[in-house]
């Protein structure tokens, strides 16, 4: 079967609006269209999917247009009550081909983008019978690393999904948030902003896996490492989100390094990591990296982009690998401490045996089960910290790994992604998170 390549977001008229947005309520749908989604852009998926252009808000409080992809299980009856999951992908790039609304489409040429790798996790939520919203949380400008606005876009994407009649949702629909790594950071922003920005939403829980914790620390640690590409694209994203940094970067960074940053703007994440592995920004700064990071303007931005300044109003699960090679466990420990100090209901699970990327998939049963329990009205575990050997080894998780393998087979063969089972009855029986306790 041939594929028709969709237009990139920066060339697609669907993403543009000439309409003044200042008098329009956040979450209002401006435009919609049915789309076809595909695994790695190649294998068409039997999933019902639409894109919504809606009104949202940027970092400065100005109205803007944003896009989310909303999905239903194949053959789902829109009259059947179901929860809504907002899944924040780890976009971790600023090239428009990495935005989920493009990367998930059939025919997309976005090999090496993280949303394509995360598509099976989205499908696992659909197999539960849930509706899913996948926002382009970096916005049309690719503001990777910006504070707060990823949360605004995710929450307004939820508002738009609730208003979109083909999904069959309503104002009282229970809502969950889920994301990992860069998507976990976006989920943390959504969880923090929800109480003030979208208090009407019935968000019953949020799951943030390895949610970065302190982007400034991550930048310093990853610079010059095998994951230096993350530090480079993070710098490029901040330059887009915070124009006041442009002169500072121009004064401190060599012309050669600024040229490399410009190239990073057009690359998917995994090719970027391969190309810039080991690149040390310190060798391309006129006075050294420490001097650049000590500039007051940059210090103010780095403080602003650190999450944890306010408590999420919903229960939250945070999952982190103790030996994570990308995100330092100490940064997540400190992030959780900030939440707990503010009185948040956070259950923090540290996994001893996994590393960064494997935990996203090995921990998927624990994360999605935790959300399912919130949708079913099960009381969450008390707030606090727990260290386990592995969240992947419990009796509850093991059969789900087999189910996930079967789901992958259906996706690779183009089989229907429908509800695997109906929602469980809402019986408030406490359940422990999947995992094996550490000794």
**Sheet strands side by side (includes 346-351):** 29-35, 48-57, 63-72, 131-135, 84-88, 175-180, 203-209, 316-321, 346-351, 384-390, 436-437
How far apart, in whole angstroms, are the C-alpha atoms of residue 117 and residue 222? 22
In sign, the C-alpha dihedral spanning 96, 73, 205, 385 is negative
Average of pLDDT values for 61-66? 96
Contact 418, 370 (CB under 8 A): no
Between the alpha carbon of residue 343 and those of residues 305, 308, 385, the distances in Å are 21, 11, 14
Q: Could you tell me where the beta strands, DSSP code E, fall in 201-345?
A: 203-209, 316-321
Dihedral sign from CA coordinates of 230, 233, 239, 240: negative
Residue from 181, 354, 394, 434 carrying the catalytic annotation:
181
* pLDDT above 70 as % of the chain: 95
Query: Which CATH code for domain 13-214+306-437?
Result: 3.40.50.1820
pLDDT (mean) for 27-32: 98
Which of 58, 156, 214, 324 is an active site residue? Answer: 324
Looking at residue 2, its pLDDT comes to 52
- Per-residue buried b or exposed e for 2-18, using 16+ beta carbons within 10 Å of the residue's own CB: ebeebebbeeeebbeee
φ/ψ of 316, rounded to 5, equals -140, 140
Under a CB-based contact definition with an 8 Å cutoff, are residues 99 and 88 in contact? no
Predicted local confidence at residue 264, as pLDDT:
84
From the candidates 136, 356, 376, 381, give the one annotated as an active-site residue: 356
The answer to whether the beta carbons of residues 232 and 264 sit under 8 Å apart is yes
The model's pTM? 0.94
Q: Does the annotation count 369 as an active-site position?
A: no
pLDDT per position as a tens digit, 98-131: 999 999 999 999 999 999 999 999 999 999 999 9
**Structure confidence at residue 307 (pLDDT):** 97
pLDDT at 115: 98
Within 164-245, where are the H helices?
182-197, 215-222, 228-241
* Mean pLDDT, range 55-84, rounded to an integer: 96
Question: Strands 131-135, 63-72: parallel, antiparallel or unpaired by DSSP?
Answer: antiparallel
User: Are 197 and 152 a contacting pair, CB within 8 Å?
Assistant: yes
What average pLDDT score do residues 4-20 get?
93
Topology classification of domain 215-304: 434 Repressor (Amino-terminal Domain) (1.10.260)
Q: Which has the closest alpha carbon to 312: 208, 180, 193?
A: 193
pLDDT at residue 411 above 50? yes
Question: pLDDT tens, 236-274?
Answer: 999 999 999 989 989 999 898 888 888 888 999 999 999
Burial 315-337, CB ≥16 within 10 A → b, else e? bbbbbbbbebebbbbebbbebbe
Q: Contact at 8 Å (CB) between 166 and 76?
A: no
Give yes or no: 394 in active site.
no
State yes or no: is 324 an active-site residue: yes
> Can you give the residue ranges of every domain in the chain?
13-214+306-437, 215-304
| Confidence band of 3 (pLDDT split at 50, 70, 90) | low
Q: Give the per-residue pLDDT at 207.
A: 98
423 pLDDT above the threshold of 80: no
């Amino acid at each position: 079967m041939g594929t028709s390549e969709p237009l990139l977001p920066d060339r697609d008229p669907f993403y543009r609006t000439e309409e003044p947005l200042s008098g329009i309520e956040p979450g209002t749908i401006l435009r919609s269209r049915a789309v076809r989604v595909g695994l790695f852009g190649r294998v068409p998926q039997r999933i019902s999917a639409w894109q919504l252009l809606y009104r949202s808000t940027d970092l400065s409080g100005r109205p803007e247009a944003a896009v989310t992809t909303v999905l239903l299980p194949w053959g789902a009856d829109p009259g059947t009550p179901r929860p809504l999951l907002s899944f924040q992908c780890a976009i971790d790039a600023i090239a428009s081909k990495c935005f989920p609304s493009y990367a998930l489409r059939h025919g997309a040429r976005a090999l090496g983008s993280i949303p394509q790798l995360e598509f099976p996790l989205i499908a696992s939520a659909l197999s539960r019978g849930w509706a899913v919203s996948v926002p382009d949380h970096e916005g049309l400008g690719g503001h990777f690393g910006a504070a707060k606005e990823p949360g605004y876009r995710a929450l307004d994407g939820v508002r738009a999904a609730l208003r979109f009649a083909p999904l069959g949702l309503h104002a009282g629909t229970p809502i969950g948030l889920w994301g990992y790594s860069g998507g976990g950071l976006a989920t943390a922003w959504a969880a923090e902003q929800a109480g003030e920005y979208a208090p009407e939403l019935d968000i019953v829980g949020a799951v943030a896996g390895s949610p970065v914790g302190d982007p400034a620390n991550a930048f310093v640690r990853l610079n010059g490492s095998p994951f230096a590409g993350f530090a480079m694209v993070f710098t490029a994203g901040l330059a887009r989100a915070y124009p006041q940094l442009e002169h500072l970067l121009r004064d401190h960074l060599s012309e050669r390094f600024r040229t490399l940053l410009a190239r990073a703007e057009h690359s998917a994440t995994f090719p970027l990591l391969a190309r810039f592995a080991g690149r040390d920004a310190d060798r391309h700064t006129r006075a050294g990296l420490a001097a650049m990071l000590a500039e007051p303007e940059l210090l103010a931005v780095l403080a602003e982009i650190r999450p944890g300044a306010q408590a999420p109003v919903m229960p939250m699960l945070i999952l982190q690998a103790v030996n994570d090679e990308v995100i330092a466990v100490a940064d997540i420990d400190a992030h959780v401490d900030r939440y707990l100090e503010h009185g948040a209901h956070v259950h923090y699970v540290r996994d001893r045996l996994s590393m960064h990327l494997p935990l996203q998939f090995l921990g998927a049963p624990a994360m999605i089960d935790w959300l399912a329990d919130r949708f079913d009205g099960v009381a969450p575990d008390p707030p606090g910290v727990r260290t386990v050997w592995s969240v992947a080894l419990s009796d509850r998780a093991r059969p789900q790994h087999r189910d996930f393998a079967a789901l992958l087979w259906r996706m690779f063969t183009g089989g229907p992604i429908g509800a695997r089972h109906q929602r469980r009855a809402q019986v408030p029986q406490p359940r422990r998170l999947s995992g094996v306790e550490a000794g």
